[in-house]
Amino acid sequence: MKIGALELPNTFALAPMAGLSDVPFRTIAWQLGRPYLVSEMVSSKAELWETGKSRLRRVPVPGATPVAVQIAGTDPQVMAQAAQRHVDEGVEIIDINFGCPAKKVCRKFAGSALLQDLDLVGRIVDAVARAVPVPVTVKTRTGLTTDDDLGVQAGCIAVQNGAQMVVMHGRSRACKFNGSADYTAARALKSLVNVPVMVNGDIDSVAAAQQALAVSGADGVMIGRGALGQPWLFAELAGHPVPDRPGKWQIICTHVESMHSFYGELAGLRIARKHVLAYLQHLGLAAHGKAFLQVNDAHEQLDWLMDISRWDQQSRDAA
């Protein structure tokens, strides 16, 4: 699967998710199955370029290629200038966010709010595509509501203006993350454009990925929340052995250590919580989540994980 002249490592990808698909999580995913990786959403505003959040989101995953960054904004020229700055730092693919349903993004008329103005969607893609020598892609939703096809129209307009791949999340802006994803809009888009289409939403297993591809006719799948707590899904998709139970515990501890190192112990401690809760859920140990949340020291977090992993193994041995 190619985006422009760039060959993707696989036909599956880890979705950009603010506060979740950060460098530590993308690194784990890459090591397990080499999915196509896109950074967390980065604001296009120049005045935010050197903020701590923007700097951390722009850090590339060691060894992962191609390097892709997602940008968000509403002004075509500001977006174009942001894309140029990213490319100057070595970014190989620019992805534009037309899909985020979060209120703080939409009230600035960015993300999925841009589906209200398809002319602006076209002008943003055109400006960015003309500004950089690398492929430009877009991520969108089916529309503003379940009753419109604005996402399909936006995808077509994006391609007409230079986008070289479209990712379609199978929900409307109004749906947010509620209800089941519908992949028929992705199928409609695929029939209308001559670039790769990836389908996104409710993909949390190999079987779900196969079903999404069968329904949508898409070229690949992008996995978001379905990967949380089980990054080894990417190993399974790649045809690699899935880690055994002790191997999963080792991945969890490595992931938590990397969050402490990347963010610093105080922030890493906080950010690790949502990931560990997801891991515990997938391991059938969700009842222990409350106890984990009471741990307020980075070193104690790791000690807690080591203790419960030993308890888990002893319990399984005894059974």
Domain range list for the chain: 2-237, 245-318
pLDDT at residue 106 in the model: 44
Q: Could you confirm whether 253 is annotated as catalytic?
A: no
- Say if residues 73 and 44 touch (Cβ distance below 8 Å): yes
> What is the distance between the alpha carbons of residues 47 and 147, in angstroms, rounded to a whole number?
38
Q: Which residue has the tokens 């949502």?
A: 274
Nearest alpha carbon to residue 261 among 59, 71, 69, 70: 59
pLDDT at residue 51 in the model: 87
pLDDT at residue 164 in the model: 98
Fold of the CATH domain 2-237: TIM Barrel (3.20.20)
Splitting the chain (319 residues) into consecutive groups of 10 residues, what average pLDDT does each group show? 95 95 97 97 87 90 96 94 96 90 54 87 97 97 92 97 97 87 96 98 98 98 97 98 97 98 96 97 97 96 97 89
Give every CB contact of residue 60 below 8 A, 6+ residues apart in sequence. 67, 90
The DSSP 8-state label assigned to residue 35 in this structure reads: -
Question: Which residue out of 100, 106, 156, 253 is catalytically annotated?
Answer: 100
The DSSP 8-state label assigned to residue 203 in this structure reads: -
pLDDT at residue 131 in the model: 98
